[in-house]
Amino acid sequence: MTSILIAIFAALALFAASALVLLLFTERTSATESRLAALQSQSRAAYDATASPANYQMQDMLALVTRPLAPFRDWLRSNDQELSFRLSVAGYRKPEDADTFLSVKLLAPIVGVILATFGGAQNFLLYAIFLAVVGFFVPDLWLFYAIAKRKEKIGKALPDALDLLVVCMEAGLGIDQAVIRIAGEMELVHPALSEELIIIGREQRAGKPRLDAWRSMADRVDLDTIRQFVAMLVQTERLGTPIARALSTFADGLRTKRMMLAEEQAAKTTIKLIFPLAIFIFPALFVVVLGPAILTMMKMFESFG
């Protein structure tokens, strides 16, 4: 009877944790839905008016569920001063994203302890400690993965954005108007870079100097390629060289670098194939080739004996 009650309690806890995680990340996964709705309605204002109430209701529900965790969240936030920066690099810049992350970080060890009940009474303490520690660090590992993934997407999208920027500037647009135009054109294909370009346009519209806005983007993205691009813009601005030519040269350099990285990865595959060949393919090949010969020799030795 006790095991049945423990199983029911664990199932309810897992259901509650799954519902909470769904609530936490529904807003992020709704980006695709928002873009599709924007294309269908052809009106960004109408879409925002219809989507905002649902988002507010979800945020209120999440705040209600995680309200008892507020003191622990404040303690973790005080010990991690770079949490907001890491979340912003991953693309989570809303004030409630930090609370969401810390709430998941606090709830994950509890879920791990609940899962440890399935390990049996004898090993419960060992499993509980192990799963609690793993659950506490899983959100950090996911955040590192999200940061690396977003940086990779922005790095891959930058050459295409520079080509579009060159085309727009050669067509007669200024760099500020070209950036706004490119941000709208690349929203569906490269949403991460489009978001950064939109932020640049808003900052310049608010009165921030162009170079300062680009430097802010380099700090937000925390990518060496973006820093090199901003340094190129600063040098072009100071020396007065044609910016379209500099952008075209920089884009060609990025493509060359990306091609060299692809060739390097292709060259490493030969060495990486040694391990699966030695572990999986060669033993099976030896059995097929040498197995009949070994059996024949064993029969010959038996006949001689």
Instruction: Quick: pLDDT tens for 13-27.
Output: 554 555 454 444 444
Length, in residues, of the chain: 305
Angle made by CA atoms 184, 189, 191, in degrees to the nearest 5: 65
* Cα gap 8→5, rounded to integer Å: 5
Domain ranges of the chain: 2-147, 152-268, 280-304
Summarize the confidence of residues 52-66 as an average pLDDT: 58
Across 184-196, b (16+ Cβ under 10 Å) vs e yields eebbeebbbbbbb
pLDDT at res. 60: 63
| Percent of all residues in the chain with a pLDDT value above 70, rounded to a whole number | 75
Question: Six-digit token pair at 10?
Answer: 């664990």
Number of CB atoms found within 10 A of residue 118's CB: 12
If you search the block for the tokens 């606090």, which residue do you land on?
106
pLDDT at res. 287: 83
Question: Six-digit token pair at 201?
Answer: 């346009």
pLDDT in tens, 198-234: 999 888 888 888 888 888 888 888 888 888 888 888 8
Q: 113 or 22: whose pLDDT is higher?
A: 113
For residue 50, CA distances in Å to 16, 47, 134, 195, 198 come to 28, 5, 40, 21, 22
Domain with residues 152-268, CATH architecture: Up-down Bundle (1.20)
Q: What is residue 117's DSSP assignment?
A: G
pLDDT in tens, 145-189: 999 999 988 988 888 888 888 888 888 888 888 888 888 888 888
- H helices of 206-305, in order, are 210-221, 224-239, 243-272, 274-276, 282-304
